[in-house]
Amino acid sequence: MGETSVNFAKASTTALQDPQLRANFRRAMDGLMSKRAVQFADSREWNAVRALGASVRLRALSKLPELLEKLEANCTRNGIRVHWASTTDEANAIVLSIMQRVNAKLVVKGKSMVSEEMHLNAFLEQHGIESLESDLGEYIVQLDEAMPSHIIMPAIHMNTKQIAHLFKQKIKDAEYTEDVAQLTDLARRILRKKFAAADVGISGVNMAVAETGTLCLVENEGNGRMSTTVPPVHIAVMGLEKVVEKLEDVPPVISLLTRSATAQPITTYVNMISSPRKDGEKDGPREIHLVILDNGRSAIYADEELRNTLRCIRCGACMNHCPVYTKVGGHAYEAPYPGPIGSILVPQMEGLGKRGELPHACTMCNACVEICPVKIPIVEIMGRLRAEAVHPGDAVKGAGARASKAEAMVWKGWSMTYASPLAYRFATGLLAKLGNAAPTSLPLLKEWTNVRAKPRFARRTLHDLAREKGIPDV
Amino acid sequence: MSEARPTDSRNAILGKLRAGRDAHPLTPPESDFTVLRDKRWAPSERLDRIKTMMEAVHTEFLETTEADWPTAVQDFLKAQGTRTLLYGTATEAGQRIAAAWADGGPDLVPYDGPVETFKERLFDGIDAGITTTLGAIADTGSLIVWPTPEEPRLMSLVPHMHVALLHADQLYDTFWQAMTENRWADGMPTNALLISGPSKTADIEQTLAYGVHGPKRLVVVVIR
Amino acid sequence: MSINGETVPFSGPRPDSVYYFGTCLVDLFYPEAGMAGIDLLKAQGLRVVFPQGQSCCGQPAYNSGYREEALKVARAQLDFFPGDWPIVVPSGSCAGMMKKHWPDLFKGEPDEARAKQVASRVWELTQFLVQVLNVKFEDHGEPVRVTWHASCHAQREMGVVEEPKALLRQLANVELVELQREKECCGFGGTFAVRHPEISAAMVGDKVADIENTGAKTVVSGDCGCLMNISGALEGGKKPVRGVHIAQFLKERTHG
């Protein structure tokens, strides 16, 4: 397999052996699914707003280069400085150079998945800059020196007890409490000091509006508003697909996003930022920078089918509804984006050599496709990536990296047998007679019988029975 | 030296996107906004819906009249034990409060300088902040707030309580209708906000907790 | 048929003949279930044609990333269904492969139009029994409590959700207790079960627990992949619950 591949199977096995983790996810995902269903109980409304949301995203993709140029022009006119980064290294360097110019020592961050993609915290720490997550879930995960396990609810893998222990252990003078209000208040007191002291605020972008040069952020806690309002400099990082054409495109997407993500009709705050502090205004950052990141997205965009991956509005509903994700949790994917969307996005970004197993972390049950608010054909893309992984080509990074002669031979043999009525009859006849003698130590059968009884071949096939019973053949 | 990278990345990215799109152009389906356009409530139902939705996320409501609101707010804050109120001196609302509260009530703190001169006070010791709104949205139970030089952004965020004045005749059905009717796209302010409740989080085992970073309480003063 | 998630009744004339596509799993592991499906259709007065040349819809290779090989096998099926009759399949997953994925698989191929024509005639068995034949079953069995496992592809590719449960509810002595998580995948997923055996085991473990909670001693399903997985896990875990294909269950109850 050439380059080192990340071992999803191993990581997921570890996760499966943690009953607490499994219970945490099961409970959380069950709750999220039923609450979301209530939000979309009116199926006519759901179908209409979903079609509208999908059309907004598709229209944005259909004009992507033009809209990014328009966004840049309108942001620039509004006083927002726009930067372009082909890679995460480049994006980090841009962020660092801004920090160094303003001599920043402390950064407060709102939630941003792109910054996870960039491993921005670690990068800034290396350069002596303290980078503090301010979303409560992200703050918890950062205290725990871990990765988020869900794109919307980063600390969903932990329960209150675990967080209570973490706070006691990591926060100076913290008293042990399992009272959620007290834990939250402790974080509030600590982080408010940090907001006031921070030199720079970093945020993601839920949507950027080309028409007006507006950055939209949705959140419940107020940390996003703090991070984008209190420090003198605000840096927003966004994946290049996050642009929409018009301001009126924002309401349907936000409605789909918040209802799908956390089953809220709307988040506490919808924060629309169009410029830095103007003359006479008393607060808000004096500088706003927008970093537009590619990191493989333009390559994804080049393929007619795969570009649908870029419709995503990062609601995380596919995770909540994925029976695989629900079992193993987000960490098993070892990627900023776990679950179904991660299983198609991450292999395209990082290559099928390294991440070719992720499209197989899926039973193709289509639960995600059923609820995706922008109708991404996730499972079709999953299938396409499985094919790309074993066939050399240039549509996807690492295409063919998982090609195996032996596996290809098996499928070739299978197709020759199954495409020929005679060969098929011979093979099934043989299996009917001898198949049950196969020892359970055989590969595949061994995995199957781990928790299951051995499947039993019938003595006579349906073909045999139909012939015997005189069922007509034509 | 410019801190931005050379324009190489910009041109490379846009070039790749253009080539990719031109090789496989995409025809998007029509965007049909009917579902938002047709979402309507009877004018008499709007306020009830706003209250129901916002109360579900711990927003408090105070009903009053155009003539009485300054004293109604004063009485309410006194009863809550509020010591200090951040306000905009230059707004009509601010002037009415200042005039009506001459005989006492919470201390009025003007937000009249840049935040840099005022940060410590702002973060340490202000109980409440009062702002006007541009109305509210029935669909989601949201206040529309556009901060201004007179009512800066942090007024509705940093004090522990946010008091918001809502005129009962400024109600919209949906966010989309509010934005299109008022032609927001013709000129967006520095910051435009929808606020639908006090700050909250469910990041600890999905247990709701209010007042995580922003206000712990949101009080909507409905003026009829 | 399902439009925007709402089932609309079939309105064409009632056919007098149908093709039966038995599927490769039924062929090897559940031939009695396959025969039961044929018998149910015959009992409705239909002539059932079982082309002996048929083998598999191609899904195993398709889902493993071997599309050429899937195409080769799918193409080999086309010759055997020349008449204009409906093609009834006792599996939502195989039916979904034919109806939904064949058009993509054959895209740009010389026989694309023919493949689409065949695909358009595909019906899942219970869907056909309810929507086209409007069957009414009379129950001859003893009182029994059962639960229903919905296959992912029957639900989400074929839009078959209520039909099988409606059939079970026609049976006077059958008490249907629905699963708490009826829509959740059992963890089979074709090669997934052997590629990620631990996750698959955890998934089927949850499914088994859900089944046990209903108190039913019989779990009925319309897909042999799910059935192999669930029955295998029930048997492996020595649970006193039997898995049975809906065709076989219906035949047992209605033919005495």
Interface pTM, i.e. ipTM = 0.96
Cα–Cα dist A245/A225, whole Å: 24
Q: Same domain for C43 and C127? A: yes
Using one digit for the tens of pLDDT, what is the confidence trace for B68-115?
999 999 999 999 999 999 999 999 999 999 999 987 889 999 998 999
Q: Which of residues 155-174 of C touch A (CB under 8 A)?
A: 156-157
- The number of C-beta contacts closer than 8 angstroms across A and B is 282
Q: What is the pLDDT of residues B199-208, one digit of tens each?
A: 999 999 999 9
Chain A: give the shortest CA distance to residue B77, in Å. Answer: 23
Per CB-CB distance under 8 Å, the chain C contacts of A47 are 4-5
A83:B4 CB<8 A: yes
Q: Is the pLDDT of residue C2 over 50?
A: no
Touching B (3+ Cβ pairs <8 A), the chains are: A
The structural domains of chain A, ordered by start, are 1-39+297-403 (1.10.1060), 66-295 (3.40.50.10420), 406-468 (no CATH)
Q: Residue A434 and residue C117: Cα distance in Å, rounded?
A: 38
A349, amino acid identity: M
CA distance A270 to A258: 10
Q: Which fold has domain B43-223?
A: Rossmann fold (3.40.50)
Show contacts of A368-372: CB within 8 Å, 24+ apart: A368/A317, A368/A318, A368/A321, A368/A322, A368/A339, A368/A340, A368/A341, A369/C156, A370/A321, A370/C156, A371/A36, A371/A260, A371/A317, A371/A318, A371/A321, A372/A317, A372/A318
Is residue A82 classed as helix, strand or coil in its secondary structure? strand
Q: For residue C148, what are the β-bridge partners?
A: C220
Report, as an integer, the average pLDDT of A328-343. 96
Write out chain C residues lying below 8 Å of A444, CB-based.
194
Is A201 near chain B, with CB under 8 Å? no
Cβ of B17 within 8 Å of Cβ of A163? The answer is: no
Which chain B residue lies closest to A210 (C-alpha atoms)?
A: B185
- CATH number, residue C104: 1.20.1050
Do residues C22 and C99 share a domain? yes
**Chain A contact for C204, CB < 8 A?**
yes
Domain boundary, last residue among C83, C115, C131: C131
The least confident of A1-15, A34-48, A458-472, C64-78 is: A1-15
Q: CA B92, CA C212: separation in Å to the nearest integer?
A: 68
Chain B residue numbers with beta carbons less than 8 Å from the beta carbon of A163 are 204-205
Q: Which residues contact A314 (CB under 8 A, 6 or more apart)?
A: A113, A151, A152, A206, A257, A341
CB contact under 8 A, A304 and B24: yes
Instruction: Report CB contact under 8 Å: A390, C153.
Output: no
CA-based nearest distance C176→chain A, Å: 22
CA A161 – CA B130 distance, rounded (Å):
38
* B134 close to B192: Cβ distance less than 8 angstroms: no
With CB atoms and an 8 Å threshold, state whether B195 touches A268: yes
The CA dihedral of C120, C123, C124, C125, to the nearest 10 degrees, is: -160
Kindly report the CATH number assigned to the domain that includes residue C218: 3.40.50.11810
C116 lies in the same domain as C86? yes
Question: Which residues, in sequence order, are bridge partners of residue B167?
Answer: B223
**Residues A264, A274: Cα–Cα separation, whole Å:** 25
Q: Which of residues 110-149 of A touch B (CB under 8 A)?
A: 134-137, 140
CA B140 to CA B53: how far, in whole Å?
7
Mean pLDDT of A35-63: 98
Q: What is the 3-state secondary structure (H, E, C) of C131-184?
A: HHCCCCCCCCCCCEEEEEECCHHHHHCCCCCCHHHHHHHHCCCEEECCCCCCCC
Please identify which residue in the block is written with the tokens 């909507």: B220
Alpha helices, DSSP H only, in A1-40?
8-16, 19-39
CB contact under 8 Å between B13 and A268, yes or no, is no
**Under an 8 A CB cutoff, do B214 and A221 touch?**
yes
Residue C239 and residue C157 share a domain:
yes
Which one of A12, A364, A381 makes the best mutation probe of the C interface by having the most chain C beta carbons within 10 Å? A364
The reported pLDDT for the residue numbered B4 is 46
Residue B6: what pLDDT? 54
| Mean pLDDT, rounded, for B158-170 | 97
Do C122 and C141 fall into the same domain? no
Proportion of chain C in helix, strand, coil states, percent, rounded to 5: 50, 15, 40
Both tokens of residue A368? 């995600």
Question: What 3-state class would DSSP assign to A275?
Answer: coil
Say which amino acid occupies A131: S
Taking an 8 Å cut-off on Cβ atoms, the answer to whether B13 and A292 are in contact is yes
Q: C151 and C57, same structural domain?
A: no
For chain B, the structural domain boundaries read 43-223
Domain holding C96, by residue range, is 2-131
At which of C64, C97, C131 does a domain end? C131
Cα of C172 to nearest chain A Cα, Å: 30
Residues B158, B163, B169, B173, CA torsion sign: positive
CA distances from C227 to A452, C141, C150, C165, C231 (A): 12, 22, 10, 16, 6
Residue identified by tokens 């996810």 is: A25
Whether C7 has its CB under 8 Å from any CB of chain A: the answer is: no
- Listing DSSP states for C4-27 in one string gives TTEE----SPPPSEEEE---HHHH
Q: pTM for this structure?
A: 0.95
Kindly report the backbone phi and psi dihedral angles of residue A163, in degrees, each rounded to the nearest multiple of 5, phi listed first. -70, -40
* Best residue of C42, C52, C100 to probe chain A, by most A CBs closer than 10 Å: C52
- Rounded to the nearest integer, the mean pLDDT of chain A is 96
Cα A125 to Cα A462: distance, rounded to the nearest angstrom:
66
The pLDDT of A169-194, averaged and rounded, is 95
What are the chain A neighbours of C204 within 8 Å (beta carbons)?
451-452
Asked whether residue C6 carries a pLDDT value surpassing 90, the answer given is no
Domain count, chain C: 2
Q: Are C85 and C169 in a shared domain?
A: no
A229 pLDDT tier (thresholds 50, 70, 90): very high
Instruction: Answer yes or no: do C56 and C164 share one domain.
Output: no
Query: Are residues C18 and C126 both part of a single domain?
Result: yes
Dump the DSSP string for A112-146: -HHHHHHTHHHHHHHTT-EEEE-SHHHHHHHHTT-
A152, A262 contact by CB (below 8 A)? yes
Boundary of a domain, candidates C80, C98, C131? C131
What pLDDT does residue C255 have? 79
Residue C7 confidence (pLDDT): 44
